[in-house]
């Protein structure tokens, strides 16, 4: 044990004391630092996979360092929308998250060859990747809050003018304003 009380954390390089120590492959980690390098999930001895000095959950490790090609991965009949962005893989021509400004919200105008059209990206939405919310069909990867980009579910969304928001962003941008709103339970705002 080095001078100063404990070993150094393999992640943050700060001193790790015995009560908060997790050991893996001869290295010490704080319990709060023992996270997957990609998805940031908490790890334990049954879920950790090590590559050189980096720690991963088994799922991210398999995606990054596992076998590639035909016959590996998602299994028979599955469609994966994971493009590998979290692993540093950038698809060609990727655009950042952009809110929808659909000038023609009619259902007829959104049909393209019998398939629904995603209001966020404008591409066809097929049954395997379809999520319905706010009166429209969306790609799973496009079904996100227009303000903060948070993934949504049908129970966690609010829609306004053909766009979808998480409940927090909706309340902040379109909810009631004025004295007594938005300050939290029992809080008073004092201004001079």
Instruction: Report the SS3 class of residue 183.
Output: coil
Domain-by-domain residue ranges, the chain?
A: 21-65, 130-174
Pairing of strands 27-30, 7-8: unpaired
Between 151 and 191, where is the model more confident? 151
Local confidence band at 120 (pLDDT 50, 70, 90 cut-offs): confident
What are 121-134's pLDDT values in tens digits? Answer: 888 888 888 888 87
Q: Which CATH architecture has domain 21-65?
A: Ribbon (2.10)
Confirm whether 21-65 and 130-174 share one CATH topology: yes
State how far the Cα of 43 lies from the Cα of 23, in Å rounded to an integer: 11
Averaged over 103-109, what is the pLDDT?
A: 48
Contacts of residue 56, defined as CB under 8 A and 6 or more positions apart, other chains included, come to 36, 37, 38, 48, 49, 50, 64
Averaged over 49-69, what is the pLDDT?
A: 82
**Ranges 20-29, 57-66, 103-112, 182-191: which has the least confidence:** 103-112
Instruction: Select the highest-mean-pLDDT range: 87-96, 116-125, 176-185.
Output: 116-125
Residue 42's alpha-carbon distances to 8, 20, 56, 186, in angstroms, are 19, 14, 10, 35
Local confidence band at 76 (pLDDT 50, 70, 90 cut-offs): very low
- Cross-strand pairs, 24: 27
130-174: what CATH class?
mainly beta
Whether residue 111 has pLDDT greater than 50: no
Local confidence band at 113 (pLDDT 50, 70, 90 cut-offs): very low
Whether residue 114 has pLDDT greater than 70: no
Between 133 and 180, where is the model more confident? 133
């Amino acid at each position: 044990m080095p001078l100063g009380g404990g070993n150094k954390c393999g992640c943050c390089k700060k001193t790790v004391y015995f009560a908060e120590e997790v050991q893996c492959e001869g290295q010490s980690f704080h319990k709060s630092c023992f996270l997957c390098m990609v998805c940031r999930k908490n790890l334990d001895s049954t879920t950790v996979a090590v590559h050189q000095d980096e720690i991963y959950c088994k799922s991210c490790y398999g995606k990054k360092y596992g076998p590639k090609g035909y016959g590996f991965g998602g299994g028979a009949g599955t469609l994966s929308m994971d493009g590998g962005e979290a692993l540093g893989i950038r698809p060609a021509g990727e655009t950042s998250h952009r809110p929808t400004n659909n000038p023609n919200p009619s259902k007829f105008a959104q049909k393209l060859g019998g398939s629904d059209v995603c209001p966020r990206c404008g591409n066809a939405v097929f049954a395997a990747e379809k999520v319905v919310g706010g009166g429209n069909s969306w790609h799973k990867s496009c079904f996100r809050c227009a303000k903060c980009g948070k993934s949504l579910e049908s129970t966690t969304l609010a829609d306004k003018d053909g766009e979808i928001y998480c409940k927090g962003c909706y309340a902040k941008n379109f909810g009631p304003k004025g004295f007594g709103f938005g300050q939290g339970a029992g809080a008073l705002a004092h201004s001079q």
